[in-house]
Amino acid sequence: MKRAFPILAVLTAVLLSYALYEALVVAPTDALQGDVYRIIYYHVPSAWTMFVFFAINFVASVVYLIKRNLKADAVAVSAAEIGVVFCTVVLVTGPIWARPVWGIWWTWDVRLTSTLVLWLIYVSYLTLRRFASGGNMPVLAAALAIFGALDMPLVYFSIWFFRTQHPQPVVGDGGSIDPRMFQVWLINWAAFLCFGMLVFWSRYRLEVTRRDVEQIQAMQSLAEPTRTSGALR
Site residues (vs another protein, CB under 8 A)? 20, 35-36, 38-39, 42-43, 46, 85, 88-89, 92-93, 96-97, 99-100, 195, 199, 202-203, 206, 209-210, 213, 216-217, 220
Burial (CB < 10 A; 0-12, 13-18, 19+), residue 231, is exposed
Spatial distance between the Cα atoms of 193 and 208, rounded to a whole number of angstroms = 22
Amino acid at 109: D
Tell me how far, at minimum, the Cβ of 153 lies from another protein, in Å.
Answer: 25
Question: Of 65 and 82, which has the nearer Cβ to another protein?
Answer: 82
**Contact of 104 with 98, CB cutoff 8 Å:** yes
CA-to-CA distance for 35 and 182, rounded, in angstroms?
A: 16
Nearer to another protein, 60 or 191 (CB): 191
Closest separation in Å from C-beta 167 to another protein:
16
User: Smaller CB distance to another protein: residue 66 or 213?
Assistant: 213
Smallest Cα–Cα separation from 188: which of 171, 175, 202? 171
Which residue, 16 or 186, has its beta carbon nearer to another protein? 16
Cβ 143 to another protein shortest distance, Å: 26
Least Å distance, CB 98 to another protein, is 9
* Contact (CB, 8 A) for 104 and 96: no
Instruction: Give the residue with the Cβ less far from another protein, 81 or 151.
Output: 81
CA distances from 19 to 31, 40, 45, 172 (A): 22, 13, 11, 21
Of 46 and 57, which has the nearer Cβ to another protein?
46
Helix axes 151-161, 40-67, angle to 10 degrees: 140
CA 89 to chain centre: 9
The least CB distance from residue 218 to another protein, in Å, is 11
User: CB of residue 151 vs another protein: minimum separation in angstroms?
Assistant: 21
